[in-house]
Amino acid sequence: MARVENPVPGTAPPSPNTLKQLDIAFGWVKGSAARVLWGGDSIELSNGRPFVGRGKDPLSFRVVEVDIDLVDTLIAAADRCFQLFERSDLPAAVQESARAVKEELGMAVGRLAAAQATEVLERAGGPGHELPKSIERLIGALLATPPTATGIERENQQYRRWLAGAATDLDPALEATFTRRWRSKLDRISLTEGEGR
């Protein structure tokens, strides 16, 4: 408990078993101790069911975990919408709306696909790990072109290329940032899923 409450540089994170015991002791939903360790909020159990404590804004979260099957379903549905928007027989009255929806949907689905690719690359790639050929084929197009975005999205593009071993001439400070980000992600995966790398 002292290592959890007062960590110092180099302190090993608690084991998945310790985090499970903390969840049980505090009456938290499985995985809450790991979320708290990484700066998130716990979810309390009330009569065996998740309960968000009073006084907390129930809409204060920034990230939602969704099943990968839902992501795939959304991307497939978007592809069908894009095909519909390209039809030459769309009535003139809806063509402008269809163009705007296509643009908005394309941006949202692009971000979703990029987040999915980042997750895959964090789990399969990184320094010292050669990407499986099946993953290279799956997201190769995403990595083939140099980053074109600006701001945080450009950094995310560079991060994905770095995970895949495709980034060259990175600033040492940025490479150090990517290494910390990747190791932090692997630690979270290990804590929440009980997996080692």
Number of domains present in the structure of the chain: 2
Do residue 32 and residue 111 come from a single domain? no
The larger pLDDT score, comparing residue 109 to residue 137, is at 109
Going by pLDDT thresholds of 50, 70 and 90, the confidence category of residue 110 is confident
DSSP state, residue 13 = P
User: Within a domain: residue 138?
Assistant: yes
* Residue 69 dihedral angles phi and psi, to the nearest 5°: -65, -35
Give Cα separations from 15 to 19, 22, 31 (angstroms).
Answer: 6, 11, 12
Going by pLDDT thresholds of 50, 70 and 90, the confidence category of residue 67 is confident
Do residue 72 and residue 164 come from a single domain? yes
> Quick one: what percent of the chain has pLDDT higher than 90?
24
Q: What is the pLDDT of residue 197?
A: 44
Do residue 110 and residue 41 come from a single domain? no
pLDDT in tens, 1-30: 666 666 666 667 777 788 788 878 777 777
Distance (Å, whole) CA 2 – CA 109: 44
Do residue 44 and residue 91 come from a single domain? no
Do residue 79 and residue 147 come from a single domain? yes
How large is the average pLDDT for residues 116-124? Answer: 90
Do residue 31 and residue 127 come from a single domain? no
Q: What is the pLDDT of residue 111?
A: 86
Q: What is the pLDDT of residue 51?
A: 55
User: Within a domain: residue 115?
Assistant: yes
User: Within a domain: residue 164?
Assistant: yes
- DSSP of 136-197: HHHHHHHHHSPP---HHHHHHHHHHHHHTT---S--HHHHHHHHHHHHHHHHHHHHHH----
β-partners of residue 28 are: 44
Q: Which domain holds residue 7?
A: 2-51
Do residue 47 and residue 72 come from a single domain? no
pLDDT in tens, 28-65: 777 777 777 766 666 666 555 555 555 566 666 677 77
pLDDT in tens, 170-190: 899 999 999 999 998 888 888
User: Within a domain: residue 42?
Assistant: yes
Q: What is the pLDDT of residue 8?
A: 63
Do residue 136 and residue 186 come from a single domain? yes
Do the Cβ atoms of 11 and 4 come closer than 8 Å? Answer: no
Q: Which residues neighbour 33 within 8 Å (Cβ) at sequence distance 6 or greater?
A: 14, 18, 19, 20, 22, 23, 26, 42
Going by pLDDT thresholds of 50, 70 and 90, the confidence category of residue 105 is very high
- DSSP of 107-136: HHHHHHHHHHHHHHHHHH-STT-PPPHHHH
Q: Which residues neighbour 190 within 8 Å (Cβ) at sequence distance 6 or greater?
A: 16, 196, 197
For residue 163, which of 149, 144, 182 has the smallest C-alpha distance? 182
User: Within a domain: residue 56?
Assistant: no
How large is the average pLDDT for residues 58-74? Answer: 80
